[in-house]
Structure 1
């Protein structure tokens, strides 16, 4: 890692070291103008690139429409995140690690991508198109987005100069998963994700990326989205591999078969007692802020019946029985990395200084994340899909400032994105080693998915991550105690899962 003084020095020679032609890129959305900044002088950044038409007016609750060519796009600032459902609950994220939360404004006009790519060097022009990560942020399908401090990949690309990262926004809560009776498509938020994949396929070569090596990667709700994506597009996945951090297809599962949630919310905003199409038209004319406030405040008050908006298993974009679908061959035949963290539960309980106790944390860890991930891995094993399984156990004080947090939900992301040292004190040398090892494995997989993840260092030699097989030591356990990596069985997770 270069010290800050080195960044400053590089910044001084920036005009002669880089080819600025790489900051103007022709895309299907328009001519995109990016930038380079002093904190990452070897990274081209293109922030706020539209990939679909604004989903407003008649397009609210509808599938996304392809973005028409819009002339010059000044891609120098994050686009607003999609409309967020808000809460007054205290969590580790609000109390201790707000860098996971989103920044900036929010808007219904939010279907934008954010792209980070290595700078073009005149003295060593890029000869080969680079592998691409297309990242789906998490947030429980109710919140989240690209503008999140811990999940900005500029320093990772600054260090390696060997890949491109694209981070998407997609519609959330009722805007993304309305499941209204008057609609043909229950889950436009999942269709947003597909359109982001299509846009990346069609345009990433202009940024130096390889459209044949796009890895769809997500965490939490983004991991669930990535997992279900393979079932939704079995014959034309476009992407070459999947990475699902702390998320699996089984996490999607609204049971609102009667569309009562949408009708109830419609009543809260003055659209009650209407037939399906009139109800839909009425709600489309309600301001986005009014809808957001009505849904959020109703949920905060704890009034019954509870209502929520997450992906509904419509058997087009989301599915209630993915095992059956896999057995029938209706799943993309591409490799995947799936895994979870040792203390996921800390991210799902109310925050108190002393925590809820080890038993509660373990129970929540297993039921909410670890067991659904385990089930999806068993399904993939059943039909012979190459799968690489991990558990992350890192407990670093600048990421987990309270003892009981440990390897909580999302805590691996600062190590993968290379942002772990930026808040609450410097990172240890071991923390850097873990970060670099995880980045190398993820990047190796994106570069050559069929070859499997691998890494080599002078100190440790060559390590090839084996495909996961049940009842064998093939889970990659990362950062447990002072051990960077080791292979273990799944007994500690799977032995406590049912179904």
Structure 2
């Protein structure tokens, strides 16, 4: 009898798996209470689901509030991207000696794509290969986009997940979150870093529902670029008790990379906007700011009137962005203390940045009338990327956390922004190697060498996602140690070459810069 029952259960389980597999072939995902209808993507071996709500619309009385869970029910057509969250995109600027593809690359990277904006913007997108057989759950990659916590979107070819999902049989997820004043308001009546809680709820949604798309909730790797990388690097501190994810990868950003706001300045900026919109005399400025008579467009216009602060010669500092609250974001001193005492979630971590990060930042600096010397740009690259990464990876590795560190070196012709001298391995360019989207970004096919490096990096990112602790060791990529040869260089001499070198060849200048996060115990 028991044997018959067991066989019956196995039969039902097999039938369920076959039904799910069949539905995924047809791009239908079944969550607990919903049937989510997707469609075939590019490449055709992949399904995509676009614009899936992961939180209640943060409108009306939910404006400037922490996100609320949203339960999908019934039949959902996930056939188009959701709205972009409210933002003021940067203006176009043509850099001297720009390449023919410059404007197209720049627009895709900084979100000058004229997407429709709305406060009802908390949606995510999923790509998963259509199964041919079996039901082995796949590793999951979740991206957090960059944009200084002020702009950006998942609705861009830059983050399209089809090529990566098809090439490596991983599930890829992207999502939107609230930014600038809507995500980081500075109001004393609500949380400062609402955008971080949006991000967390999106990842929580993935954990709860990704099996329906063929993904393994136990193997989620969180990846971010620029300010998204800061959020990812910060994840182990902000969500130490329940990080959800199994590993993290930061592209061009760490907890030490960029200026952040203190609570007093954030509050002053909030009060400026409140007064500009006539809410300064209200008993509750927050309630007034939630009025249906105040549109998100008028709020963005008021944000533009906030006086500029900050003395960085290399980049502007948004008036509303990640703010020290000692809950989800901390001071440099506190981060150093937590690193020394290993007071963070021991998530396997991989940090990578470009060899010539300033190749992109020079554009925005010149657009604002700032022309820096080469020595100033060299210091910027050291302080924001080389030394910031060196400090954090040193302490993570010293705490016994599996840590990897890489430097991207290639300067492909189809992704070049300007010349001479070339834009080089600039900020963000290596993301194209992971997503495999350089042709859709630039309009120019990649060279055979570039295609080969894409394959190498996609495989490495997929291997890390499958096993964040030991996966990269199988490729000969070592755990990072500040002494010895363990820095991975990718695209050396603009070829598919990968080599392993000592990080001291780049870190030796850090100790002389008097950086607040640098420690004399770090080898250089």
SS of the residue corresponding to residue 451 of structure 2 reads: helix
CA contact (8 A) 1:27 1:206 kept: yes
User: What is the distance in 1 between the residues matched to 2:405 and 2:414?
Assistant: 26
Q: Which residue of 167, 170, 174 maps to 2:177? A: 170
Matched, 1:264 2:272: yes
Segment drifting more, 389-398 vs 250-259: 250-259
Q: Which residue of 52, 71, 74 maps to 1:71? A: 74
1:50–1:29 CA distance, 2 compared to 1 (3 A): farther
Q: Which residue of 459, 470, 475 maps to 1:440? A: 459
Structure 1 gap segments, 5+ residues each: 1-16, 456-462
SS of the residue corresponding to residue 117 of structure 1 reads: strand
1:143-188 superposed Cα distances (whole Å, 9 cap, x missing partner): 111011122121222233x1100001111000001121112x2111
Q: CA deviation at 1:490?
A: 1.8
Q: Which residue of 73, 83, 97 maps to 2:106? A: 97
CA contact (8 A) 1:114 1:168 kept: yes
Matches within 5 A, 1:268-287: 268-275=276-283, 278-285=284-291, 286-287=294-295
- Partner of 2:222 in structure 1? 216
- Partner of 1:143 in structure 2? 151
CA contact (8 A) 1:224 1:252 kept: no
- Partner of 1:232 in structure 2? 238
- Partner of 1:4 in structure 2? none
1:325-383 superposed Cα distances (whole Å, 9 cap, x missing partner): 23444311121101211111122223669x96643432332233333222221231332
Matched, 1:318 2:329: yes
SS of the residue corresponding to residue 467 of structure 1 reads: coil
User: What is the distance in 1 between the residues matched to 2:243 and 2:225?
Assistant: 19
- Partner of 1:6 in structure 2? none
1:307–1:246 CA distance, 2 compared to 1 (3 A): closer
- Partner of 1:12 in structure 2? none
User: What is the distance in 1 between the residues matched to 2:287 and 2:295?
Assistant: 12
Structure 2 gap segments, 5+ residues each: 1-20, 96-101, 311-316, 519-524
Q: Which residue of 414, 424, 433 maps to 1:398? A: 414
Matches within 5 A, 1:47-58: 47-58=50-61
- Partner of 1:460 in structure 2? none
CA contact (8 A) 1:252 1:310 kept: no
1:28–1:172 CA distance, 2 compared to 1 (3 A): farther
Matched, 1:373 2:389: yes
User: What is the distance in 2 between the residues matched to 1:105 and 1:478?
Assistant: 37
User: What is the distance in 2 between the residues matched to 1:318 and 1:260?
Assistant: 19
CA contact (8 A) 2:357 2:425 kept: yes
- Partner of 2:35 in structure 1? 31
CA contact (8 A) 2:263 2:325 kept: no
SS of the residue corresponding to residue 73 of structure 1 reads: strand
1:400-435 superposed Cα distances (whole Å, 9 cap, x missing partner): 142331111000011110012332422111111111
Matched, 1:245 2:251: yes
- Partner of 1:481 in structure 2? 493
User: What is the distance in 1 between the residues matched to 2:459 and 2:179?
Assistant: 32
Q: CA deviation at 1:40?
A: 1.6
SS of the residue corresponding to residue 235 of structure 2 reads: helix
Q: Which residue of 460, 476, 479 maps to 1:464? A: 476
1:370-397 superposed Cα distances (whole Å, 9 cap, x missing partner): 3322222123133222110000011011
Segment drifting more, 95-104 vs 225-234: 95-104
CA contact (8 A) 1:218 1:245 kept: yes
Matched, 1:496 2:509: yes
Q: CA deviation at 1:197?
A: 1.0
Segment drifting more, 402-411 vs 206-215: 402-411
1:323–1:384 CA distance, 2 compared to 1 (3 A): farther
Q: Which residue of 408, 426, 445 maps to 1:408? A: 426
1:229-278 superposed Cα distances (whole Å, 9 cap, x missing partner): 11112222111000011111223621233611111111122222445xx1
- Partner of 2:362 in structure 1? 349
- Partner of 2:3 in structure 1? none
CA contact (8 A) 1:51 1:199 kept: yes
SS of the residue corresponding to residue 84 of structure 1 reads: coil
CA RMSD of aligned residues (A): 2.5
- Partner of 1:40 in structure 2? 43
Matched residues, number: 464
User: What is the distance in 2 between the residues matched to 1:235 and 1:91?
Assistant: 46
